[in-house]
Each structure stands twice: as structure tokens, then as C-alpha cells.
Amino acid sequence: MSEENPLPVASDSASRLQATRQLLERTRTELGRVIAGQDEVIGEVMVAVLAGGHALLEGVPGIAKTLIVKSVGRLLGLGFQRVQATPDLMPADILGTTIFKPGTDAFTFHQGPVFTDLLLVDEINRMPPRTQAALLECMEERQVTSDGTRRLLPLWFTVFATQNPIDFEGTYPLPEAQLDRFLLKIKVRYPSQAEERQMLERHRGSSNAGLLEDAAIQPVPADLLVSARDEVRAIRVEADLYDYILEIVRRTREWPMLALGASPRAAICLLRVAQVFAAFEDRDYMVPDDVKRAALPVLRHRILLKPEAELEGFEADRVLNDVLAAVAVPRG
């Protein structure tokens, strides 16, 4: 999948991935009326939903991070809740709390915003560590344990968290254990000049309700998302691709520029995301290019550069590209 066309529409009417193809067509049509550009970001947000993982969106304020997640929720017909992280946010503000029911001698559990399909945690690194840790169980086990009772979260529960890469005052950097729970780290960049002009033209005639309300996005059929996820999980993976994924992940653990390499969970995530990228190309089998495409968003937040590497101007993506270049590509 090329970066210029991250959401391709297949022309083969005999495609075995009908649901995925229809979902991508609807995504391109409906979200294109709301968001100018950011096709690659939208594609990776869809990857997170189809692969059943969570995503960390990193970018400066005002580049449509929240709008993208809300638009995808409308398109897929999923519930959406937003939490604005602040230094005084408590775990109960997200998970919910047990309250006394007036007129009775009983307590009832009042659900927090985490009980939804898509949860947007804005500026997650402004949460205190205690509240960040409260999300760990939700993200890994898709459940909330309160007063000894296990409460399951919705089937499509997905966390999309945002953080500003240049604002460090009053923040609490996410620990490695928390970062490893995110399937993807998505970098949201400025739109091109043409895309930004298109955005201005759209806002000129929009109402006070905003572009999302004006667009009146039509949700996809309820069973389409389920069928697309089933197609993704059925993508065929040859034995040499398992070895290729493992070699990439294991190589990061011994790379001289890295103090911390990717975890075993990273290998699983790399496989799942590569399967989605294969489906996006209308293929029912995976190839090495799918793994390469998945490597940066899956691994960039799971590695830790040595201080001397940072002083020399290295960054995670540059090191990962070097790792990919050093690993032999299987020739099937």
C-alpha cells in the first residue's frame, strides 16, 4: 500500500475480501466529506479497529485528531466518549464509581466513560500516573474490576489517546508498560497546502454545528465491520513470514543504538497489523511489504534509544528503518 493512496479501492469484482473492500470504499466516501487529507492517519485508525487494538495519536493541537476518531465512530455506528486528561483526573472519573442509591439501603455502580466502543483520551500524558495505570486493565483485558466485581467492556472497546509531542510542562510521560499496550503509535502531521486550502473552503459555508454534523455521515451496515474483521483474521501467513517478523523484533533487542528492544507482544501486534494491511491491498495472503509497512507504527513506541543515539540526532523511525534494511527479506 503506497503512502499516496493508503485506502485503495480494489477493482476486482471477484475479490474474496468483499466486506473489507466495501468498508474502505465507504470510509473514503463518507470521511472525505469531513476531513481534508490525513488519508494515512485515517487508514491506521481503521487498522486499530479491525485488528482489535488501541492507538496513540501524536501531533500538535488543531490537526483533526479528535475529528478523525469521532468521524470513524459515526461511520462504524459505534459509541464514542471523550475524556479530557488533567492533572487532577482520578481513576473513578474514567472507570466509574459505586454510589449510594437514595431511598434504599443499596449501592449501585455508576459507569464511567470507559464503558463505550471508542474512547478518546485527549492529552493522555497529562493524567497522573495513578489514573494512567487504571487504564491498563481496560486496555489489556477489556474489563473493569470494581469492588471485587468484574465488569466487561463492549466488544469493540478501543482506546485512542492523543499527546502533544512538544508540550512537556505539567505532563507525566507514559511508562513503557503503558506504551506497550498500544497497538499503534500514529504520527499526525500537518496537511499539505492544497489540503489546508480545501479545509478552509469547507469551513466557509459550514454551520455552527461543525463539519461533522453538516456531513451527516451514514453508518455502515452493522454486520459489515464484523465481516471485515473476520476477513482480516483469515489472511494467510506463510511460515517464512513468521520468521521474518521474529527476526525484525529480535534484532531490535541487540541493536547498538537501542537501550530497549521490542517485546514479544510487539511481534504479535506486527503480525496482526500486517494482516490488515494485506486486506487493504485486497489480498487474502500476506507479503513482506505488509510487514515493512506495519513496522514503524507498531514498533516506534516500543523501543528506547540510548542517550548517545539521541545526542547524535537519531530517532525511532530512522533506527527502525536501519533494522529493516539489515534483516533479509524472505523470497517466496
Q: pLDDT digits over 55-93, tens only?
A: 999 998 888 888 899 999 999 999 999 999 999 999 999
Q: pLDDT digits over 189-237, tens only?
A: 998 999 889 888 887 777 656 777 777 888 999 899 999 999 999 999 9
Q: pLDDT digits over 292-304, tens only?
A: 999 999 999 999 9
| Residue 185 CA to its chain's centroid (Å) | 7
HEC assignment per residue over the chain: CCCCCCCCCCCCCCCCCHHHHHHHHHHHHHHCCCCCCCHHHHHHHHHHHHHCCCEEEECCCCCCHHHHHHHHHHHHCCCEEEEECCCCCCHHHHHEEEEECCCCCCEEEEECCCCCCEEEEECHHHCCHHHHHHHHHHHHHCEEEECCEEEECCCCCEEEEEECCCCCCCCCCCCHHHHCCCCEEEECCCCCHHHHHHHHHHHHCCCCCCHHHHHCCCCCCHHHHHHHHHHHHCCECCHHHHHHHHHHHHHHCCCCCEEECCCHHHHHHHHHHHHHHHHHCCCCECCHHHHHHHHHHHHCCCCEECHHHHHCCCCHHHHHHHHHHHCCCCCC
Listed in sequence order, the residues at least 6 apart from 175 whose beta carbon sits closer than 8 Å to its beta carbon are 129, 132
**Residue closest to 163 by CA, chosen among 241, 63, 92, 38:** 63
- The CA distance from 16 to 1, in Å, is 18
**Does 3 score more than 70 pLDDT?**
no
Q: pLDDT digits over 114-138, tens only?
A: 999 999 999 999 999 999 998 999 9
Q: pLDDT digits over 298-330, tens only?
A: 999 999 999 999 999 899 999 999 999 999 999
Q: Where in the chain is the domain with CATH 3.40.50.300?
A: 13-220
Residue 332 pLDDT level (bands cut at 50, 70, 90): low
Are the C-beta atoms of 8 and 282 separated by less than 8 Å? yes
For the whole prediction, is pTM greater than 0.85? Answer: yes
Q: pLDDT digits over 153-165, tens only?
A: 999 999 999 998 8
High-pLDDT (> 70) share of the chain, %: 93
Q: pLDDT digits over 249-264, tens only?
A: 999 999 999 999 999 9
Instruction: Supply the angle between the helices 264-280 and 39-51 in degrees, to the nearest 10.
Output: 120
State in words which class domain 235-332 has: mainly alpha
Residue 100 pLDDT level (bands cut at 50, 70, 90): confident
Residue 284 pLDDT level (bands cut at 50, 70, 90): very high
Residue type at 274 in one-letter notation: A
Q: Where in the chain is the domain with CATH 1.10.8.80?
A: 235-332
Listed in sequence order, the residues at least 6 apart from 186 whose beta carbon sits closer than 8 Å to its beta carbon are 41, 44, 45, 55, 56, 57, 58, 297
**Residue closest to 153 by CA, chosen among 182, 122, 112, 120:** 112
Listed in sequence order, the residues at least 6 apart from 179 whose beta carbon sits closer than 8 Å to its beta carbon are 56, 185, 301, 302
Classify domain 13-220 at the CATH topology level: Rossmann fold (3.40.50)
